[in-house]
Chains A and B, each alone.
Chain A
C-alpha cells in the first residue's frame, strides 16, 4: 500500500463519521422541533 492509500483511508473515515453525525443530529432536531410545533398549534 502506498502512503496515499493511508491518507485517503484516514480522511474517508473522518468524512463519513462527521457527515453521519451532522446528518443524524440535524434530522433529529428538525423532526423533533416540527412535531413540537405541530403539537403546540393543536387545540
Chain B
C-alpha cells in the first residue's frame, strides 16, 4: 500500500486511469439510461415511474459506498499515516454528498406518485438524510483543516464514527416499519424482472466508474494545489 505513498508514483497511475474510468463510465451511463427509458416496460402498479430506479438506486449505492470509502481512508490515515489517505477521503466527500442528495431528491420525486407524498419520516429516508448531513459536516471539517488538500485527525475520526450510519441505512427497512420497499437485490438473488435488472446493473457500474474518475480528478487537483503551495513558499523564501 505504501508503494503508492509517493504522489509522483500515484500520478503516473492516476493520469491514464482517469480517462480509462471516465469514458467507459459515461458511455455505460448514457447507454443504460437510454436502454431503461426506451426498452423497460411500465410496471403494473408504478407505471412509468419505475424507470426512476435507473438513477435513484445507483445514487443511493454511491452515497453509501462513498462514506464507506471515507471511513476506510480515515482508518488508513490514522493507523498507517498514509499521505494519500486524507486526500482521497476529502476527494470522495463532495461526490458522495451530491449522490446522497440525488438519491433523496429522486426518491422524493418517485414517492409523490407512488405513495402520494413527497416525504415520510421513516427509517430509510431519515437515515439517508442523516448521511447527507454527515457529508456536509465532514466537508466543513475537512475545509477547516489547515493542511492543504488533506484532512485533520478530527475529520478522520468523524469519518469513522459516521460509518455507523451505513448498516443502519441498509437494515432500516428490516428493523422498522417502512414505506420504502424491502431490499430487492440481495446476495441470495434478485426479485426484479430482467427487463429492469440489466439496465439497472449497467447504470450502477457506469455511475461507479464515473464516480471513480471524479475522485481521481479531485485527488489530482488536491496534489497539484499542494505542489503550488510548496513552490509559492519556496519563491517567497528566496
Q: Is the interface of B mostly helix, strand, loop or mixed?
A: helix
Q: Is the CB of B220 within 8 A of A29?
A: yes
A26 to B221 CA separation, bound complex (whole angstroms): 9
Q: Is the CB of A39 within 8 A of B232?
A: yes
- Size of interface on A: residues with Cβ below 8 Å to B: 26
A9 to B48 CA separation, bound complex (whole angstroms): 13
Distance (whole angstroms) from the CB of A31 to the closest CB of chain B: 8
Distance (whole angstroms) from the CB of A35 to the closest CB of chain B: 6
Contacts A7-B51, A11-B55; A21 near B98 (Cβ below 8 A): yes
Q: Is the CB of B217 within 8 A of A25?
A: yes
Distance (whole angstroms) from the CB of B99 to the closest CB of chain A: 8
Interface range for B: 35 or more
Restricting to A5-38, which residues have a CB under 8 Å from any CB of B?
A: 6-7, 9-11, 13-14, 17-18, 21-22, 25-26, 28-29, 31-33, 35-36
Most buried by A among B55, B95, B112: B55
Distance (whole angstroms) from the CB of B203 to the closest CB of chain A: 10
A13 to B102 CA separation, bound complex (whole angstroms): 7
Q: Is the CB of A13 within 8 A of B106?
A: yes
Restricting to B90-110, which residues have a CB under 8 Å from any CB of A?
A: 94-95, 98, 101-102, 105-106, 109-110
Q: Which residues of A contact B228 (CB under 8 A)?
A: 32, 35-36, 39
Q: Which residue of B lies closest to A31 (CB)?
A: B221
Q: Which residues of A contact B222 (CB under 8 A)?
A: 32
Q: Is the CB of A14 within 8 A of B214?
A: no
Q: Which of A1, A26, A29 contacts B224 (CB 8 A)?
A: A29
Most buried by A among B218, B221, B222, B225: B221
B49 at the interface (CB under 8 A from A): yes
- A35-B224, A36-B224 known; 17 new pairs, CB 8 Å cut-off, are A3-B42, A3-B47, A3-B48, A6-B49, A7-B37, A7-B51, A10-B105, A14-B59, A14-B106, A17-B102, A18-B210, A22-B214, A28-B218, A29-B221, A33-B221, A36-B227, A39-B232
Residues of A with Cβ closer than 8 Å to B?
1, 3-4, 6-7, 9-11, 13-14, 17-18, 21-22, 25-26, 28-29, 31-33, 35-36, 39-40, 42
